[in-house]
Amino acid sequence: MSPLSGLPLAGLPLAGLKVVEFTHMVMGPSTGLILGDMGADVIRVEPIGGDRTRRLLGSGAGYYPMYNRNKRSVCLDLKSEGGIAAARALAADADIVVENFRPGALDRLGLGYDALSKDNPGLIYCSAKGFLAGPYENRTALDEVAQMMGGLAYMTGPPGRPLRAGASVIDVTGGMFGVIGILGLLERRHRTGAGGQVRCSLFETTAFLVGQHMAQKAVTGIAAAPMPARISAWAIYDVFACREDEQVFVGVVSDQQWSAFCAAFALDDFASDATLALNNDRVLARDRILPRIRALFASLDSAELLAKCEAIGLPVAPIARPEDLFDDPHLNAQGGLVDLQLPGGTAARLPALPIEVDGARFGVRHDLGEPGADSRVLLLGAGLSVEAVDAMFASGAAG
Q: Which residues pair with 360 in a beta bridge?
A: 357
Predicted local distance difference test score (pLDDT) of residue 3: 33
Distance between start and end Cα atoms, the chain? 31
Helix (H, G, I), strand (E, B) or coil at 205: helix
- The pTM (predicted TM-score) of the whole model is 0.94
Asked if residues 250 and 309 have their Cβ atoms less than 8 Å apart, the reply is yes
Together in a domain, 311 and 247 = yes
- Residues 31 and 144 grouped into a single domain: yes
Q: Which of 365, 360, 398, 363 is CA-nearest to residue 379? A: 398
- 268 and 359 part of one domain: no
On whether both 159 and 297 belong to a single domain, the answer is no
Of 275, 302, 322, which residue constitutes the final position of a domain?
322
Domain of 372 in residue numbering reads as: 9-210+334-395
Verify that 165 and 55 share a domain, yes or no. Answer: yes
pLDDT digits (tens, 9 = 90+) for 17-53: 999 999 999 999 999 999 999 999 999 999 999 999 9
Produce one character per residue of 180-212: b if its CB has 16 or more CB atoms within 10 Å, e if not: ebbbebbeebeeeeebbbbbbbbbbbbbebbee
Q: What are phi and psi for residue 99, nearest 5 degrees?
A: -145, 150
Residue 282 lies in a domain: yes
1 in a structural domain: no
Are residues 93 and 189 located together in one domain of the fold?
yes
Residue 328 covered by a domain: no
Residues of the chain with pLDDT under 50: 1-4
- Please state the domain count of the chain: 2
The amino acid sitting at 45 is V
Cβ atoms of 328 and 316 within 8 Å: the answer is no
**Together in a domain, 310 and 390:** no
pLDDT at 5: 53
Residue type, 333: A
Question: How far is CA 141 from each of CA 27, 130, 151, 201, rounded to the nearest angstrom?
Answer: 11, 5, 15, 9
Residue where a domain stops, chosen among 273, 293, 322? 322
What's the CATH number where 278 sits? 3.30.1540.10
Which pLDDT does position 344 carry in this prediction?
82
Q: Give bridge partners of residue 236 from the DSSP assignment.
A: 252
Strand pairing class (316-318; 247-252)? antiparallel
Quote the pLDDT of residue 343.
Answer: 79
Task: Please tell me the number of Cα atoms within 13 Å of 360 on its side-chain side.
Answer: 17
Local structure of 196: helix, strand or coil: strand
Q: Tell me, yes or no, whether 23 lies in a domain.
A: yes
Shared domain for 85 and 204, answered yes or no, is yes
CATH code of residue 376: 3.40.50.10540
Final residue of a structural domain among 263, 287, 322: 322
- In 3-state terms, what secondary structure has residue 377? helix
Q: Report yes or no on 281 lying in a domain.
A: yes
In a domain, 219, yes or no: no
How far is it, in rounded angstroms, from Cα 73 to Cα 95? Answer: 17
Please check whether residue 26 lies inside any domain of the structure.
yes
Continuous segment of H or E residues that includes residue 333: helix 329-333
Q: Is residue 173 located within the same domain as residue 117?
A: yes
**In a shared domain, residues 341 and 301:** no
51 and 148 part of one domain = yes
Task: Please indicate, yes or no, if residue 217 is contained in any of the structural domains.
Answer: no
DSSP string, 117-168: HHH-TT-EEEEEES--SSTTTTS---HHHHHHHTTHHHHHSPTT-----SS-
Residues 339 and 295 in one domain: no
